[in-house]
Amino acid sequence: MSINLAILWHMHQPYYYDPLKNKFMLPWVRLHATKDYLDMLLILKKFPELKITFNLVPSLLKQLKEYENGATDIFFEHTIIPAEELNEEQKVFILENFFLANWKNMIYPFKRYRELLEKRGKIYGDPLKISKKFTPQEFRDIQVLFNLVWIDPLHREKDFFLKELQNKETNFTEEEKKLLLDKHIEIIKQIIPSYKEMAKSGQIELSVSPFYHPILPLIYDNYKAKECMPYALLPQYNFKAPEDAQTQINKAISYFEEIFGFKPYGMWPSEGSVSEEIIKLIAQAGIKWIATDEEILSKSISEKFRVSENLINPSMLYQMYEFEGVKIFFRDRILSDLIGFVYSSWDVQKAVDDFLKRVRSSTTSGIVSVILDGENAWEYYENDGNIFLEKLYGSLQKSKDIKTITFSDYLRQNPYATTLKKIFPGSWINANFSIWIGHEEDNLSWDYLYKVRQELLSYQKENPNKDTSQAWEEIYISEGSDWNWWYGDEHYTETKDVFDDIYRHHLMSVYLKIGKEPPSFLYIPISKKMREIKPEIEPKGFIYPKIDGKITGYFEWLEAGRFNLQRMGGSMHRAESLFSYLYYGFNRQSLFLRLDPFSSLKDFEDLKLHIQIIEPRRIKIVCDNIKAQLAEVFFQENEIWIKKKEIESVVFNEIFEIELPFEIIDIKQEENIYLFIEIFKNSYLIDRAPIIGFIKIHIPPYDFDKLMWF
């Protein structure tokens, strides 16, 4: 009797589009598309007797379609710039970001790429200083090599042009760089049709997740976390939106059907997160099967399955269960994690032998479920996991006692299932929700979401005939799990600030979609490390600058404080910065601000500048016409902006200078001001100073100049 083995590869990326900047801020959909999504099918095609399940998240599919239709990301844009035309900011961006790849398996195999990494430094120093050491040709080589190594070796070997680039390894041309990016889009355009074709052939099953990958039990009711985390500190507000949970399910099924022409039979709930209420919603949507982790089953039936890693009750784990009419499969955590996290460091044949041995020793009946991330593990394997997969698939195809099967095929062949009386709420990580709720940052994120959603509900009630669908879409995007994945202490990424920005910008966009001003709290990063920005130089005395938009003399701003905008926040944003330094200072009557651009402000006649003061009271200074040399001062009262006064001491010229009299902006001696500056072009936010968080300025006492005698 054969052992039934069901393997599910989960393919997911969050929605990286920033609605305020009108662009995709991270490249991982494009780069995993060229490295993982298509080649997983090409390898499987070599073994036609195997049956595998692929779970595709709609937020990923949506972005793949957008790339097909011409969308780009900020990394793409920095690749296409001719190396000779790169400015300092763009060079810094490339040096900081174009080595974001597994060094051992993706960079080191290319001698030239490794040399460039070592020249940059593995422990990164002063970015501007280092960038001056690189020639245009070296920058072009980095641009090409980064985008080349993120193409799977399978594609590089079979495509003549890509193989030529791989062998050439250096001295690339601008034309080769352009053709390489064309190859990226060419690969992306094959992905969805290939999945559709293989699903039609019956070799693969396609399942789906809720649309924007939310943790459904927490969307339904985030205080549900108390059941699996009884001692956790939860958010101040109880976010409870069963209708949103249902929408995320229904939208996913509809979009899947629109893309593939049929409804999915199964669903992998985001992060394997389940609860009784969620399974009922899934059943109402017509889904026939779901899957989650073995620990959820263990806690649901109060049965222990393992002593250490050793399975002691395989017959209970390796069977199909049912709750509310939905069939449930529980993944073998050890087998799944061995592929995801362990076998990459093993000899390939030993890894495959160990896996098959464990499967054979586990059971002779029922179904063994192996479910894991289908994209992120492979960069830790030699040759992007292709050697491992081919040996594993080859061994499975030859096997007489192991039969691969899709979950739907197993369900059809084995209609009987054991009924569960209850479902323990939790995810596939520790059978709880601690990654997404409980930490101070996670909880603040939930409270932001609660407040914004309540505002939209109120608006909708007051304006029942207004179309709010676009605003609701922003809510659904904000409900995705990936934002909270990076909040807290559990996970680290070099681009944490970008995730924080994208999340808050989607929440801001809810207000903009209904014609309202986003509240001040959304301008403050949730990540504690990115809130208050410290100055590079503190003020030393009072200043009395002439507001003329020019650097009139050396001593004019000498006593001022200074922020180095090039060393603030995440590298994603610095590459777009218009300004190098922000100076601030004061005398007994006024606060002064100065922004130094990389090029003359006269080149940016259509820019608008807003100075946002968020404490001690909400004030906005608006410079909507840089030729007018006029700023309007608005105070927020009951969430409504009211124009109070105008300021004429503002000039855009070689630099930006403004005088803000304390009397006009209602600021008193020894108060703390928290502010940031925004730059808009065609209604889109294109720059911010500082790029994350806010600047704290302490207004000194009248005798400040005497106190600072040194």
For the stretch 340-387, pLDDT in tens is 999 999 999 999 999 999 999 887 789 999 999 999 999 999 999 999
Please report whether residue 613 resides in a domain.
Answer: yes
Based on the fold, state whether residues 642 and 610 are members of the same structural domain: yes
Residues 489 and 478 in one domain: yes
Write down which residue in 495, 530, 565 finishes a domain. 530
Integer CA distances (angstroms), 177 to 78, 106, 468, 608, 613, in order: 11, 18, 43, 35, 44
**Buried-state track 219-246, b at ≥16 Cβ within 10 A, e below 16:** bbbbebbeebbeebebbebebbbeebbb
The better pLDDT of the pair 621, 6 is held by 6
Residues 638 and 518 in one domain: no
Confidence at residue 111, expressed as pLDDT on a 0 to 100 scale:
97
Q: What is the CATH number of the domain that holds 645?
A: 2.60.40
Choose the weakest-confidence range: 28-32, 35-39, 571-575. 571-575
pLDDT tens, 658-684? 999 988 888 888 888 888 888 887 777
The predicted pLDDT at position 709 comes to 41
Return the higher-pLDDT residue of 546 and 208: 208
Per the CB < 8 A criterion, the answer to whether 78 and 114 are in contact is no
Alpha carbon of 226 to those of 437, 443, 567: distances in Å? 10, 13, 41
Number of domains in the chain: 3
Residues 497 and 638 grouped into a single domain: no
Of the three residues 477, 497, 530, the one that is the final residue of a domain is 530
Comparing 501-510, 560-569, 616-625, which segment has the lowest mean pLDDT? Answer: 560-569
The pLDDT-based confidence of 572 (bands split at 50, 70, 90) is: very low
Q: How far is CA 344 from each of CA 349, 350, 583, 622, rounded to the nearest angstrom?
A: 11, 11, 50, 55
Q: Do 700 and 592 belong to one domain?
A: yes
Q: Is the pLDDT of residue 244 over 50?
A: yes
Residue 604 within a domain: yes
Q: How many whole angstroms separate alpha carbon 313 and alpha carbon 306?
A: 7
- pTM across the whole model: 0.83
Same-domain pairing of 616 and 500: no
Three-state helix/strand/coil letters over 111-141: HHHHHHHHHHCCCCCCHHHHHCCCCHHHHHH
Regarding whether 597 and 628 lie in a shared domain, the answer is: yes
Residue 97 Cα distances to 454, 495, 570, 690, angstroms: 38, 10, 10, 20
Instruction: Indicate whether 488 and 541 sit together in one domain.
Output: no
- What mean pLDDT is predicted for residues 11-38? 97
pLDDT in tens, 52-104: 999 999 999 999 999 999 999 999 999 999 999 999 999 999 999 999 999 99
Highest mean pLDDT among 298-307, 604-613, 647-656: 298-307
Residue 600: pLDDT above 80? Answer: no
Nearest-angstrom CA–CA distance, 475 and 214: 11
What's phi and psi for 249, nearest 5 deg? Answer: -70, -50
Domain co-membership, 701 together with 562 = yes
State the pLDDT at residue 550.
Answer: 85
What does 296-331 look like in DSSP terms, one character per residue? HHHHHHT---EETTEES-HHHHSS-EEETTEEEEEE
User: Where among 129, 164, 197 does a domain terminate?
Assistant: 197
- What is the domain range of residue 614? 532-707
541 and 521 within one domain: no
Average pLDDT over residues 632-651: 84
Q: Do 538 and 687 fall within a single domain? A: yes
pLDDT mean across residues, the chain: 91
Among 325-329, 408-412, 501-505, 654-658, the least confident range: 654-658
84 belongs to a structural domain = yes
Q: Examine residue 589 and state whether it is found in any structural domain, yes or no.
A: yes
In terms of domains, do 449 and 537 share one? Answer: no
| % residues pLDDT > 90 (the chain) | 68
Does some domain include residue 548? Answer: yes
Confidence tier at 644 by pLDDT (50, 70, 90): confident
pLDDT tier, 125 (very low <50, low <70, confident <90, very high otherwise)? low
pLDDT for the residue numbered 570: 36
600 assigned to some structural domain: yes
CA atoms within 13 A on the CB side of 15: 27
**Residue 696 forms part of a structural domain:** yes
With a cut of 60, say whether residue 707 has pLDDT above it: no
Report if residue 425 sits inside a domain. no
Q: Looking at the predicted structure, is the pLDDT value of residue 204 above 90?
A: yes
Assess contact for 63 and 24: CB atoms under 8 A. Answer: yes
pLDDT of residue 616: 83
Cross-strand partners of 646: 632
| pLDDT band with cut points at 50, 70 and 90 for residue 710 | very low
* In contact, 419 and 18? CB cutoff 8 Å: no
Checking if the pLDDT of 288 tops 80, the result is yes
Helix (H/G/I), strand (E/B), else coil: 536: coil
Look at residue 586 in the predicted model and tell me its pLDDT.
86
Say whether pLDDT at 152 is over 90. Answer: yes
CA–CA gap between residue 210 and residue 58 (Å, rounded):
7
The more confident residue out of 532 and 624 is 624
